[in-house]
Amino acid sequence: MNQTAFLNLVLPFKDKLYRMAKRLLVSNEEAEDATQEILMKLWANKSKISSYKNAEAFAMTMTKNYCFDRLKSKQAQSLRIVHSNYKDETTQLQKQVEHQDSLDWVERLMQQLPTQQRMVMQLRDIEHYEFSDISKVLDMKETAVRVTLSRARKTIREQLIQKHNYGIK
């Protein structure tokens, strides 16, 4: 596989790799380093990539595993999982503040979810992956992915309702 063919294969999902790394590693620098490392590994194994049915799912799995390894390493003790790539520039200031407040709450609530639920929400709701692709990336059955996503959404929905109602029932 030549360089042009490799770039044509990898460039469409390069940003998804970065967002996944950012979700897991928080820091822009860590996410950029992780993305670069994954792209280097993909380049080193470019002859094998064409044999994979879904190169994007393979790369996402590599990114997930690499980030988990980084999180486990001693030098990454202060890293945490977050999401912050949504900004709406078209709304009025008050609506923008309300949206940002809601996003901040969702981010905080997502941080409290178990890792598997966080990952499924990231891949499905933010990256818009199909359930079949998520099941491959996370090595789960498709029905388990659906159940995990449902539980994560329900947890966040209930906590947001409670927050917006200020605990009043």
- Angstrom distance (rounded) from CA 31 to CA 24: 8
- Angstrom distance (rounded) from CA 151 to CA 153: 5
CATH architecture of the domain formed by 86-169: Orthogonal Bundle (1.10)
Domain 1-80 of CATH type 1.10.1740.10: yes
pTM (whole model) above 0.75: no
Q: Domain spans of the chain? A: 1-80, 86-169
- Angstrom distance (rounded) from CA 62 to CA 125: 20
Instruction: Choose among 64, 61, 111, 59: nearest CA to 84.
Output: 111
Report which residue type is found at 30. Answer: E
pLDDT, tens digit (0-9, with 9 covering 90-100), for 62-81? 888 888 888 887 454 554 44
pLDDT, tens digit (0-9, with 9 covering 90-100), for 127-159? 889 999 999 999 999 999 999 999 999 999 988
Instruction: Choose among 68, 71, 72: nearest CA to 60.
Output: 68
